[in-house]
Chains A and B, each alone.
Chain A
């Protein structure tokens, strides 16, 4: 039985609102991972093109934080997922209002009720308002595995940081219907953020083409700027906007770290015990990128140079069953990332359905995972291909993480002949038996 109780100040509760609004732009469900020291919200874009994690430090962010996971000792964790909208209806805007107007709270107390002998497991939020009014919300949650995208900072030689307020002014210039954002460092001491749409239209349709907006910023206006000249990296403008708008609510500096196109990019920012990390898939002309002075990861050599679409399937959970965990962990109520009911009898079909449709996944960060691979022979040479959360405890199950390392590109077709390469050491998953 997990013990998870924490108390929030009104300021902290309104920060939870802000971060949920931001995570809601990536997925309609948000995953929660509570550890002894910290509490993390994560959201993974259904197309697996973006991963967002907001970590709240137990001592700094909360007035009071207590988490004792039911198993796993010091590294144990409690994980679940909830609808972002459900949480947002509890963590409304204007929870923090110095004037104490409507909606303002005095404090917020959260606890998780998970009992072996009860069918009801609830995430309970108590909003203690002024004048002694207490609003109690009981939310249902779903036990899921939480995946983390690993990002290798040592390879990300390109970095910049800038105050989110300035960045927010720049995104306001962007046209409304644009899709992509090209971030490039010119040789003239300027960094260009260009929002555009990748659509080639002819004739009269030209006039329906969305606005292309390029914002050229002096690199001296950055707090810190160290990017290879001439490097272009492309991300989704929507993701970028969501991140900048959220960073601006915290009035912090936004940091970007990346290596080269088609390799992940990470934005991070945070203050007062709150740390946000967004790992985004990137695209761009890899071949046109100037040669990197950093040694390319070994995995790159095996990447298909023509960048044929390599569909990568990634499943949100590897466990189909947790013997030591009472409800609510059962698949019948389980929905996959897109919110469809998962049919327990059709794993294959549903995992295929989860594969991003017609999305050129050469851009995708995330590599495949399948329950079959647990049984497949281990290939030690591929040891580096998947990053496993080393700190996770393995008695409940393997805690999956994923990482872009380049050489997992392979084509998965919708037929049942998928072959997945083994990626995990047997020694690491001994906890399953």
Chain B
């Protein structure tokens, strides 16, 4: 089993681990030479299935294993994140799978330009003693678990029905600050009620096919809602739909287009989900990756977020999929 890669985009990788770490402590990482998959399946809350093109984080990669050159690992995200963070100013960073005292470890080796020089006032400026290798090397070792193909065979991406509404989300920063405020106010509402914290922080998110998004929260004491208008509902690519243009007509979203209005005042045409505000705050942490986000609403069933990361060519080859299920009440 061999895995070795040089990291070309430390900051993206760091942001990715930070976003994922907010949702779960451990990630299932599936490595192949074509793509890297990060999957977070927490006991409860949002699942993340991320598929990244190699060149979005790695420069070169070698993956070899007896199981069709696929390596499955379980990785503690907090440590990976901490290790990557220290590589932000590195001149080069490499990651590889190795064994230490019979424990598999991901070793992140980073090379830093020798900063010690700056502290030495009398250093010769053109000191090429020792081949000019005046560098500091830092190695982080993260203990990981290698998962057998059987162990991951039963893990499948959640299946959802065709969405009723799909919409481009506004800036996640804006969305997050508003939803965080709602959640905070709901938590501050300390009226003795039978409702637990989880039901108090329940956000209702709704959207229509006319570019409107509505975020609202209700408690015994208050009711708040924010509505965005003028967002875009991306056109479906007939090439990606089985059955082509004819079947698009039969999709629930096509029907939803007939309902509601672009000013968001109409009661019709909304597809809504109830989600936990605290969990939503963690999902919004993906905003740091700066990707384009499409939200798909399955009315009272689930909310699926697709976060597209553009690579150098402008193609959306890397996508993080967030599966958020809707609470029934």
* Chain B residue, CB-CB nearest to A166: B116
CB of A185 to closest CB in B, whole Å = 15
- Closest CB of chain B to A162's CB: distance in Å? 7
A217 at the interface (CB under 8 A from B): yes
Q: How far does the alpha carbon of A221 sit from the alpha carbon of B137 in the complex, in Å? A: 12
Give residues 188-235 of A contacting B (CB, 8 Å). 189-190, 204, 206-218, 220-223
Interface stretch, picked from A168-176, A337-345, A362-370, is A168-176
Query: B145 to A218, Cβ gap below 8 A?
Result: no
B141 touches A211 (CB 8 A): yes
Tell me how far the C-beta of B115 lies from the nearest C-beta in chain A, rounded to whole angstroms. 6
Asked if A204 meets B136 with Cβ closer than 8 Å, knowing A162-B116, A211-B79, A221-B117, the reply is: no
Please tell me if B181 contacts chain A, counting CB pairs below 8 Å: no
Who on chain A is nearest to B83 by CB? A211
Could you mark each residue 202-239 of chain B with 1 if its beta carbon is under 8 Å from any beta carbon of chain A, else 0? 00000000000000000000000000000000000000
Q: Which of B26, B76, B118, B119 has the most CB of A within 10 A?
A: B119
B104, closest chain A residue (CB): A206
Measured CB to CB, the closest approach of chain A to B111, in angstroms, equals: 10
- Residue in B117, B133, B140, B144 whose beta carbon sits within 8 Å of that of A212 in the complex: B140
B138 near A173: Cβ-Cβ < 8 Å:
yes
Instruction: Evaluate contact between A207 and B26: CB separation under 8 angstroms.
Output: yes
Closest-CB distance, A402 to chain B (whole angstroms):
35
The answer to whether B86 touches A172 (Cβ under 8 A) is yes
Whether a CB of chain A sits under 8 angstroms from the CB of B120 is yes
Chain A residues lying within 8 Å of B75, measured Cβ to Cβ, are: 207
Flag if A207 contacts B130 (CB, 8 Å).
no
Check if B135 is an interface residue, CB within 8 A of chain A: yes
User: Does A163 sit within 8 A of B, measured CB to CB?
Assistant: yes
Q: Which residue of B lies closest to A208 (CB)?
A: B76
Q: Given A207-B74, A217-B116, A220-B130, do A170 and B136 touch, yes or no (CB 8 Å)?
A: yes
Select which of B86, B117, B118, B138 is within 8 A of A216 by beta carbon: B138
Q: How far is the CA of A214 from the CA of B145 in the complex (A)?
A: 21
Contact residues in A for B133 (Cβ distance below 8 Å):
218
For A331, the chain B residues whose CB sits under 8 A away are none
Chain B positions within 8 Å of A209 at CB level: 103, 143
Contact among A175, A190, A222 with B79 in the assembled complex (CB-CB below 8 Å): A175
Q: Of all chain B residues, which has the CB nearest A210? A: B79
| Docked CA distance A175–B105 (Å) | 15
Residues A218 and B130 in contact, CB atoms below 8 Å apart: yes
**A223 to B116 Cα, complex, angstroms:** 10
Asked if B134 is at the interface (CB within 8 A of a chain A CB), the reply is yes
- The SS class assigned to the A binding surface is mixed
Task: Indicate whether A327 reaches chain B with its CB closer than 8 angstroms.
Answer: no
Q: In the complex, which residues 150-177 of chain A have their Cβ closer than 8 Å to any Cβ of chain B?
A: 162-163, 165-166, 169-170, 172-173, 175-176
Q: A206-B103, A207-B74, A221-B116 are in contact. Are A176 and B82 (CB under 8 A)?
A: yes
* Separation of A204 and B146 alpha carbons in the complex (Å): 11
Q: Is the CB of A218 within 8 A of B134?
A: yes
Q: B100-136 interface mask toward A, CB cutoff 8 Å, 1 = contact, 0 = none?
A: 1001010000000011111110000000011001111
B136 partner residues in chain A, CB cutoff 8 A = 170, 215-218, 221
Q: What distance in Å separates the Cβ of B157 from its nearest Cβ neighbour in chain A?
A: 23
| B171 touches A (CB below 8 Å) | no
Within the assembled complex, what's the spacing in Å between the Cα atoms of A173 and B133?
Answer: 20
CB distance from B79 to the nearest CB of A (A): 5
- Taking the closest CB of chain B, its distance from the CB of A259, in whole angstroms, is 25
Q: Are B134 and A215 in contact (CB under 8 A)?
A: no
Is the Cβ of A169 less than 8 Å from the Cβ of B140? no
CB pairs A–B below 8 angstroms (19 shown)? A163-B119, A165-B118, A204-B145, A206-B143, A206-B145, A207-B145, A208-B76, A209-B143, A210-B79, A211-B79, A212-B140, A212-B141, A215-B138, A215-B139, A216-B136, A216-B137, A217-B116, A218-B114, A218-B135
Q: Which 3 pairs show the lowest CB-CB distances between chains A and B? A: A163-B119, A221-B116, A212-B141
A-binding residues in B (CB < 8 A): 26, 74-76, 79, 82-83, 86, 100, 103, 105, 114-120, 129-130, 133-145
Given contacts A208-B76, A216-B139, 16 further A-B contacts (CB under 8 A): A163-B119, A170-B136, A173-B140, A207-B74, A207-B75, A207-B145, A209-B103, A211-B79, A211-B82, A211-B140, A218-B133, A218-B134, A218-B135, A220-B130, A220-B134, A223-B120
